[in-house]
A = this chain, B = another copy of it.
Amino acid sequence: MTCNTAILGASGYTGAELVRLIATHPHLRIAALSADRKAGQQMADVFPHLRHLDLPKLVKMEEIDFSGIDLVFAALPHGLSQALVCDLPQAVKVVDLGADFRLRDPAAYEKWYGAAHVATALQQTAVYGLTEFYRDDIKSARLVAGTGCNAATVQFALRPLIAEQLIDLDDIICDLKNGISGAGRSLKENMLFTERSSDVLGYAQGGKHRHLGEFDQEFSALAGRPVEIQFTPHLVPISRGILASCYLRGDAQAIHAALTAAYADEPFIHVLPFGQCPGTGHVMGSNFCHIGVTSDRISGRALVVATLDNLCKGSSGQAVQNANLMLGLNETDGLMLVPVFP
């Protein structure tokens, strides 16, 4: 069985990562690739590491014939998916890797993204794409909204703890260390090699990061009352990877037990033995998420550290995982690639 997919926005890093994953996927096929500014070029011109693959040429989105497409991966800049999805044939399933459908509440969308949503009806039907927690909905969804990469990392660390009321909901501090590919391939002075290669610094501090909209939505729904976390990302000089250090109030052993139990049957989420800390280097290039729990000398405090590859499990790997479910394939198809180390 082969399903035809199209990747919209294939000239960005998440687009390239989708190609990487689908190239060795047993049941997915790339039927079309779009990239508006690079239309007409070969993928190998834009991404020489894909040189060996026989891929369709990059075209403009409107040149794609969607009639033979089973599923579209939309890896577009935020804001562009809303209109697009409305225009697609109803039979085409969609995994949106952008932010357009992550928030269910139009007001929340407008608050965090600064503009009214233009497809609010569709917005209500989108399923939030955190596979491990929305599996059943995803299986029957037409439109799945991929999560933010930070949002995925922190939710893997916290959801079972919030659901089981194991932590103080009013004292959650998440300090993230983020690989540079999270900023995409766009030209920004502060993303130059020279600016980033020997530097560590925080950004979007103080509660300004858009992924907070996802945390608020998901954690509040889970807790049945408003939950706000303190969340601070930091740029570190690695290409791929997010490490989330979550400072919590609760019993560390109980927390470890709950996470271990929650993910016991999950193929991609691995909880380390108590007291061990995961590293971004151990999930690089893979769809795995590693989670570690330690106690502190201060009683009642716990540290939960989660790490994943932002481009894979945090974005394109998650997208393929969701596509697998939407298309009736095995959830792990094409995704058991081993991390690349060193």
Contacts and interface: CB of A to CB of B under 8 A. Distances in A.
Interface of A: 13, 16, 19-20, 23-24, 47-53, 171, 173, 175, 177, 180-181, 183, 185, 187-189, 191-203, 205-208, 212, 228, 230, 232, 234, 236-241, 243, 245, 247, 267, 270, 272, 275, 277-286, 288, 290, 292, 294-298, 301, 303, 305, 307, 336-342
Most buried by B among A53, A240, A281, A296: A281
Nearest to A238: B198
A118 to B, nearest CB: 27
Given A24-B336, A206-B297, A341-B47, A236 B200 contact: yes
Nearest to A338: B20
A154 to B, nearest CB: 14
Q: Which 7 A-B pairs have the closest CB atoms?
A: A207-B297, A199-B281, A201-B279, A194-B342, A49-B339, A49-B282, A193-B196
Contacts of A52: 267, 270, 288
Contact of A337 (B51, B278, B295, B337): B337
A49 B283 contact: yes
A229 to B, nearest CB: 8
A206 B51 contact: no
Contacts of A243: 200-202, 234
Nearest to A207: B297
Nearest to A234: B177
A297 B210 CA distance: 13
A193 B175 contact: no
A13 B163 CA distance: 41
Given A275-B206, A337-B24, A340-B340, A238 B239 contact: no
A208 B298 CA distance: 11
Contacts of A203: 277
A53 B270 CA distance: 11
Contact of A199 (B19, B23, B238): B238
A277 B233 CA distance: 11
A49 B237 contact: no
Most buried by B among A49, A188, A294: A49
| Most-contacted residue by chain B among A13, A16, A20, A292 (CB, 10 A) | A20
A214 B23 CA distance: 35
A303 B205 CA distance: 8
Interface centre among A24, A212, A272, A282 (most CB of B within 10 A): A282
18 contacts: A19-B338, A49-B340, A51-B270, A51-B272, A51-B290, A52-B288, A183-B194, A193-B196, A193-B197, A197-B239, A197-B342, A198-B238, A201-B280, A202-B243, A202-B292, A205-B277, A207-B296, A285-B340
